[in-house]
Amino acid sequence: MLFQELVSPSFFDSRQMNVLQNRLNNLLSSVAARDTEFPLLNTYISEDKALVVAEIPGVDLDDIDLQVVNKTLTINTQRNKEDVSEGTHWYRRERAYGQFSRVIELPFAIDVDSVLASCTQGVLKIELPRAQADLPKKISIQSA
């Protein structure tokens, strides 16, 4: 259908161009929203811990499931669809909703019992201390 509009005689009509532009914008914004991973996050590493900071606007804290196994942090969550009034349809949609999962592989094993998580203004911070058994150990050299 889009191709037929492109080759039709009324292609250069400004009203038709506006309709076509709106359709392309909606298509591209819809595709972009699906391709973006959620939640967006940054990961910081030091010798003794990792810090994961994730943006989770519109997510109920009870809907977040954090799991740590060895070197891997898994964030499972969901964001509910926004309610709109009857007869309203989306014009531009960039915020995704539904079930989401992110898996972050860290460069060291995590002390699962010491993991701390907090959330302020839609920003989730997860502090992941390095397991003691995985910390570098200084080896003393004895003379012979």
Specify the pLDDT at position 123: 95
Element (H, E) at 18: helix 14-35
CB atoms inside a 10 Å sphere around CB 56: 21
Specify the pLDDT at position 127: 97
Specify the pLDDT at position 104: 93
CATH node for 39-83+93-132: 2.60.40.790
The 3 state secondary structure assigned to 98-130 is EEEEEEEECCCCECHHHCEEEEECCEEEEEEEE
Question: Which is nearest to 100 in space by CA: 52, 50, 33?
Answer: 33
Structural domain boundaries in the chain: 1-35, 39-83+93-132
Tens of pLDDT, residue by residue over 2-39, are: 556 555 555 567 777 777 777 777 676 555 444 467 88
pTM of the model: 0.68
> In this model, does residue 96 exceed pLDDT 70?
yes
Rounded CA-CA distance 139/141 in Å is 6
